[in-house]
Amino acid sequence: MKSTNTFRKGFVFKKYEAPYQSPFDKLFEIFKELITHTSGDFDEAIDWLRELDKEYKLTTPEYTIDDFIEDLKKKGYLREEIDPNGEPSLAITAKTERAIRQQALDQIFGKIKRSGQGNHKSKSPGLGDEHTGDFRGYQFGDSLDKVSLTESLRNAQINHGISDFTLSENDLVVEETLHKSQMSTVLMIDISHSMILYGEDRITPAKKVAMALAELITTRYPKDTLDILVFGNDAWRIEIKDLPYLKVGPYHTNTVAGLELAMDLLRRKRNTNKQIFMITDGKPSCLRLPDGQYYKNSMGLDEHIVNKCYMMAQQARKLHIPITTFMIARDEYLMRFVREFTYANQGKAFYTGIKGLGEMIFEDYETNRKKRIKG
């Protein structure tokens, strides 16, 4: 008797249903975005959230914005403090800062999962500890623990047969390995006034990229180092925890000061691989003179300032520090300057807008400087 049971394969189409989110989670996703745009100003972020609630009905009578604020306190995302005027106020905590960095990582780099000990593979095969799955013939000097016994015995059986089994040097094969290298990166962020001019907010995407890169390195590549600095009239280092609060100032663009500080930070690192990422949208327009005064010129490209930039690029090249410039402006004369700057350093340049900036930095970080370590 034939069975009447049949098994069919195919596709089932149905209306998309978004994954369930609690009222808190829905508002928290929006809140994290707003707190980034307001540079960590809680009151301003909540004001924006209330306006969005009026327009898009984000809350219900059962769960209001006030309920959301109470949950933020209970969950450790807010702390109470006293403002400079002596009035009580609310501010975000380190837990919120971490949540913002993770959101930036998810948005820009695409849900990258945490791994254990993360390291960067170099391009060149050789003596190392990262297996590639490729094999080559044994060479004098190869370590015996690198010999693949399974593949070597297989070769011996093929070459000599089972009845007269022998294992010769010609049968031995070694699995290729890659070095794991450590990377020291300095990320330079332009905070000159032009980063918010012309009706375009360029500083917020730059902050997001920095937060995402910081989260990527600390979770996936914990042996790597990342230093972040900002440059306007001067340059100074900031901590990762400071990123949500970063603002543009009434500054010119002292690119030289930023490069000097970046190279000073990298000189102290013992890693073989070092690099500088520079996010900027404007031309260099400022130098600090030996007497402490500032030389500024915003009219076109000042030859004196530009030549100083070229000198810094050449100096970084001598120190084997490649500079990758992410230029978020498309003026032809500025692109020409970046091309000359990049040539002097033998680095790289990307001419891009805000869109896609994070993906470019991520790809460059993953592939840029994977060179074989000597020694």
Residue 119 lies in a domain: no
Percent of the chain past pLDDT 70, that is, above it, reads 86
Residue 111 has a pLDDT of: 44
Residues 171 and 201 in one domain: no
Residues 224 and 138 in one domain: no
Closest CA to 174 of 217, 144, 211, 216: 144
- CA distances to 201, 274, 367 from 318, rounded to whole Å, are 36, 12, 22
Residues 145 and 222 in one domain: no
- Sequence-distant contacts of 27-34: CB under 8 A, at least 24 apart: 27/58, 27/59, 27/65, 27/68, 28/68, 28/72, 28/77, 28/99, 29/103, 30/58, 31/68, 31/72, 32/96, 32/99, 32/100, 32/103, 33/103
Q: Looking at per-residue confidence, does 352 or 75 come out higher?
A: 75
Residue 70 lies in a domain: yes
Q: Model confidence over 60-92: pLDDT tens digits?
A: 999 999 999 999 999 999 999 988 888 889 999
| pLDDT tops 80 at residue 50 | yes
What is the helix (H) or strand (E) element at residue 287, kind and residue range? Answer: strand 286-288
Residue 126 has a pLDDT of: 37
Q: Model confidence over 279-307: pLDDT tens digits?
A: 998 789 999 999 999 999 989 899 999 99
Q: Model confidence over 125-145: pLDDT tens digits?
A: 334 444 445 677 777 767 777
Residues 142 and 274 in one domain: no
Q: Model confidence over 266-285: pLDDT tens digits?
A: 999 987 789 999 999 878 99
Residue 180 has a pLDDT of: 55
| pLDDT tops 50 at residue 369 | no
Residue 81 lies in a domain: yes
| pLDDT tops 50 at residue 197 | yes
The alpha carbon torsion through 214, 219, 222, 227 (nearest 10 deg) reads 10
Residue 118 lies in a domain: no
Residues 353 and 223 in one domain: yes
Give me 321's structure tokens: 């520090």
How far, in Å, CA of 328 to CA of 198, rounded?
A: 13
Residue 101 has a pLDDT of: 94
- CA 264 from chain centre, in angstroms, equals 21
Residues 66 and 146 in one domain: no
What single-letter amino acid sits at 25?
Answer: D
Residues 169 and 28 in one domain: no
Closest CA to 197 of 283, 278, 276: 283
Q: Model confidence over 237-254: pLDDT tens digits?
A: 999 999 999 999 999 999
Domain count, the chain: 3
How far, in Å, CA of 258 to CA of 262, rounded?
A: 6
Residues 214 and 354 in one domain: yes
**Which of 73-82, 86-95, 224-233, 360-369 bottoms out in mean pLDDT, i.e. has the lowest?**
360-369
Would you say the C-alpha torsion 206, 212, 218, 220 has a positive or negative sign?
Answer: negative
Last residue of a domain, one of 148, 176, 204: 176
Residue 2 lies in a domain: no
Residues 136 and 219 in one domain: no
Residues 344 and 199 in one domain: yes
Percent of the chain past pLDDT 90, that is, above it, reads 51
Residue 195 lies in a domain: yes
pTM of this prediction? 0.75
Last residue of a domain, one of 155, 176, 197: 176
Q: Model confidence over 2-32: pLDDT tens digits?
A: 555 566 666 777 777 778 889 999 999 999 9
Residue 7 has a pLDDT of: 61
Closest CA to 286 of 191, 200, 221, 354: 191
pLDDT band of 223, cuts 50, 70, 90: confident
Highest mean pLDDT: which range of 11-25, 107-121, 333-347, 357-371:
333-347
Looking up tokens 């005064």, which residue turns up? 293
Which positions ≥6 away from 273 have C-beta within 8 Å?
120, 181, 182, 183, 184, 369, 370, 371, 373
Direct distance between the N- and C-terminal alpha carbons of the chain, in angstroms, rounded to an integer: 75
Domain coverage including residue 142: 132-176
Residues 269 and 205 in one domain: yes
Which positions ≥6 away from 132 have C-beta within 8 Å?
125, 175, 176, 177, 178
CATH number, residue 305: 3.40.50.410
Which neighbouring-strand residues pair with 82?
88
Residues 146 and 209 in one domain: no
How far, in Å, CA of 328 to CA of 279, rounded?
A: 7
Return mean pLDDT, the chain. 84
Residue 117 has a pLDDT of: 38
How far, in Å, CA of 257 to CA of 286, rounded?
A: 9
Average pLDDT on 229-235 reads 98
Neighbours of 15 (CB within 10 A): 4
Which positions ≥6 away from 71 have C-beta within 8 Å?
24
Would you say the C-alpha torsion 357, 362, 367, 371 has a positive or negative sign?
Answer: positive
Closest CA to 230 of 259, 277, 188: 188
Last residue of a domain, one of 70, 92, 114: 92
Q: Model confidence over 317-350: pLDDT tens digits?
A: 999 999 999 888 778 898 899 999 999 999 998 8
Q: Model confidence over 167-190: pLDDT tens digits?
A: 777 778 777 655 556 889 999 999
Q: Looking at per-residue confidence, does 373 or 188 come out higher?
A: 188
Looking from the CA of 66 toward its CB, the CA atoms found within 13 Å total 2
Residue 367 has a pLDDT of: 66
Residue 345 lies in a domain: yes
Residue 116 lies in a domain: no
Neighbours of 6 (CB within 10 A): 5
Give me 302's structure tokens: 């000042």
